[in-house]
Structure 1
Amino acid sequence: MFRGVRTVMVFADSPEASARWYGELLDVPVQVDVSDTGAVYAWVEIGGVELGFHPADDARNPRGGSPVVYWSVDDVDAVRELLLAAGCEHHRGPLTIEPGRRIAQLRDPLGTIIGIDGK
């Protein structure tokens, strides 16, 4: 049935700006598609997963309707510091959720909550 995560979609006020921030942070290309209506869908790919940004729409795709995506990292503290230096703000944690495993959440400069999960 499920074979793995292919795409994580985030509803954002500015999809292209969101994708460009992640593209710069992760040093990966940004893809942008503009529909006939002018709506922008933008994305980056990392680790075989598409991180896509779709326009927020209060009726169909409200802000806050997105899941928190947790990225696997080797060192939660080091990556947290890197993200803070890149413009993120503290949201939650770091928390120890089991021996040898910690998580933290940060808010990126465009308002999306992201998680990191590792040692």
Structure 2
Amino acid sequence: MFNSVRIVMTFAADPEASARWWGELLDVPVKVDVSDSGAVYAWVEHDGVELGFHPADDKRNPRGGSPVVYWGVDDVDRARERLLAAGCEHHRGPLTIERVRRIAQLRDPFGTIVGIEGP
């Protein structure tokens, strides 16, 4: 019934800027769709998953109202350092949650909390 995660949508004050930051970090192209009302939805695709950025709206889609998405990484410390160097801020961790599994959370420059998980 359920397959793999296909789309993760977050809410951002500037969806296009958020997508461009992630596109640069992941070295993937950015796609942008502008609705008739002028609202921008922007996204990147990486490893079969669409990471989308929808305009934040205090009433319906507040920034920070999204789930924390965890990216699988080969080395938590190296990935964390790369994210910090790219402009993220420390949020939580790194934490060892199993003997061979660690996680960390960071806040990207646009306020979205993202997670990394790996050995």
TM exceeds 0.5? Answer: yes
Match of 2:14 in 1: 14
Which amino acid is 1:84 matched to? L
**Quick one: distance in 2 between partners of 1:3 and 1:91?**
30
| Structure 2 residue identity aligned to 1:43 | W
Instruction: List alignment gaps of at least 5 residues for structure 2.
Output: none
Aligned length: 119
CA offsets per residue over residues 19-62 of structure 1, 9 Å max, x none? 00000000000000000000000000001000000000111111
Partner Cα separation in structure 1 for residue 46 and residue 80 of structure 2: 18
Aligned sequence identity (%): 82
1:99 aligns with 2:99: yes
Question: Taking structure 1 as the reference length, what is the TM-score of the superposition?
Answer: 0.99
1:55 matched to 2:55? The reply is yes
Q: Cα RMSD between the aligned structures?
A: 0.5
Superposed structure 1 runs of 4+ greater than 3 Å apart: none
**Map of 1:40-119 to 2, 5 A cutoff?**
40-119=40-119
**1:63 CA displacement:** 1.5
Rounded to whole Å, the distance in 2 between the matches of 1:45 and 1:108 is 17
Shift of 1:113: 0.5
- For normalisation by structure 2, the TM-score amounts to 0.99
Question: 1:53-102 CA deviation, whole Å, 9 max, x = no partner?
Answer: 00001111111210000000000000000110011000000000001100
Determine the C-alpha separation between the residues in 2 that align with 1:21 and 1:31.
Answer: 12
For 1:108 and 1:24, the matched residues in 2 are separated by 13
Q: Say whether the 8 Å CA contact 2:19–2:53 is kept in structure 1.
A: yes
Residue 36 (structure 2) aligns with: 36
Structure 1's unaligned 5+ residue stretches are none
